[in-house]
Amino acid sequence: MLPRISLPDDARAMLSAWPQTPAMKRDYPERPIIGVGAVIICGDRVLLVRRATEPLKGEWSVPGGMLELGEKLHDGIRREVLEETGLEVEPGDVLDVFDSIFRDEQGRTQYHYVLIDYLCTSISQEAKAGSDVSEVRWVSEDELAAMGLRDSIEQVVRKGFRKVKQNIS
């Protein structure tokens, strides 16, 4: 463990006067935004959420969202899942890392996320819609095709099911 360093008063004053970075806009960002997603499999079902905000408003997805400045990846996934579903989770293996880029009619990048999806274990069981989602639903692997998921989301969920089956074998 590193020793604690005590700052002199003038250094403390200088740090407190340091300009704060404003929150980055999600639409038309200056740089890609890091997002985390949770593939939560309990038994033979996965938890999906219906997005209540853009860019995927009305679509089914996995719980997750934007990483906050200074937040560790596992802490971000725990926070996002709790906010969106009320569930406490323990993040496990990274299932996938990919870009999600949306362009407007003029071809400009309207949204650009770098997404890191984790296989997560649910510590609590009762999910309910929270912030940024309008509905939550536990679905079986057989029901995925009927949910209208984006290909990237369906692929990472199926990868999660395969991983869980491998761990059971």
pTM: 0.81
The pLDDT of residue 21 is 45
The pLDDT of residue 97 is 96
Residue type, 74: H
- pLDDT category of residue 24 using cuts at 50, 70 and 90: low
Query: Measuring CA to CA, how many Å separate 28 from each of 21, 117, 123, 168?
Result: 17, 23, 36, 43
The pLDDT of residue 19 is 41
- pLDDT tens-place string over residues 100-134: 899 999 999 999 999 999 999 999 878 999 988 99
Contacts within 8 Å (CB) and 24+ apart, 136-141:
136/47, 136/48, 136/49, 136/50, 136/84, 136/85, 137/47, 137/48, 137/49, 137/50, 137/60, 138/42, 138/45, 138/46, 138/47, 138/48, 139/45, 139/46, 139/48, 140/44, 140/45, 141/44, 141/46
For the chain, domains (ranges, CATH) are: 32-168 (3.90.79.10)
Helices (H), the chain: 9-17, 73-85, 151-168
Q: Give the span between the Cα atoms of 149 and 119, in whole angstroms.
A: 18
